[in-house]
Copies of this chain bind each other. A is one copy, B any other.
Amino acid sequence: MHLLSFDPRAFRWSGIGPSDYKSGSGDVRGMSWTGVSRWVLASPETVAADYELRYFEIEPGGYSSLEKHRHVHFVVVLRGHGRALVGEHVHDLSPFDALHVPALTPHRWLGEGDIEPFGFLCPVDRERDRPQPLDDGEWDRLRANPATARYVF
């Protein structure tokens, strides 16, 4: 199938169902998350590319795991408003803003809308390492930084 039609009312693509965001609930320090859904638009099973393309959606008040990994992110916002902790910085994000998360940089995504979810496209290398929690030094540094402290939990 070539075309994945988009339904603007449902904000969903034809033939694409949700995948688990993570397999667990995140018991490790900082790895908790809530209100996150993942939609795989292009995977190795469907598209013969070195990348995958995922769409993530975070409910108002929801957040992803605070994590790092060697593979980078480069996301493009599609809907709503959100916030991202990336290293020592916090960014407010609106539709079509694009954000780079370099290798091994701690990051967390947060839904900041009133009603509308915060949604973004996230292409990612097909071959990639697993997310890992922050080490003690990173954790303490981000907790000591007034800009980032409230997102470190």
Q: Are B3 and A97 in contact (CB under 8 A)?
A: yes
**SS class of chain A's interface: helix, strand, loop or mixed?**
strand
Q: What is the minimal beta-carbon distance from A16 to any residue of chain B, in angstroms?
A: 9
Complex Cα spacing A125 to B8, Å: 28
CB-based contact A50/B125 at 8 Å? yes
- How many monomers of this chain does the complex have? 2
Which residues of chain A (21-56) have a CB below 8 Å from chain B? 41-42, 46-51, 53
Task: List, in ascending order, chain B residues with CB within 8 A of A93's CB.
Answer: 3
How many A residues are at the interface, by size bracket?
A: 35 or more
Contact indicator B97/A71 (Cβ below 8 Å): no
Q: Is the CB of B94 within 8 A of A6?
A: yes
CA distance A142 to B3 in the complex (A): 19
Return chain B residues, CB-CB under 8 Å to A149: none
Q: Which residues of B contact A94 (CB under 8 A)?
A: 6
A13 near B98 (CB under 8 angstroms)? yes
7 pairs, A vs B, C-beta closer than 8 Å: A4-B97, A4-B98, A4-B100, A6-B96, A49-B124, A50-B51, A121-B121
| A18 within 8 A of partner (CB) | no
**CB atoms of B123 and A51 under 8 A apart:** yes
Q: CA–CA, A93 to B2, complex, Å?
A: 12
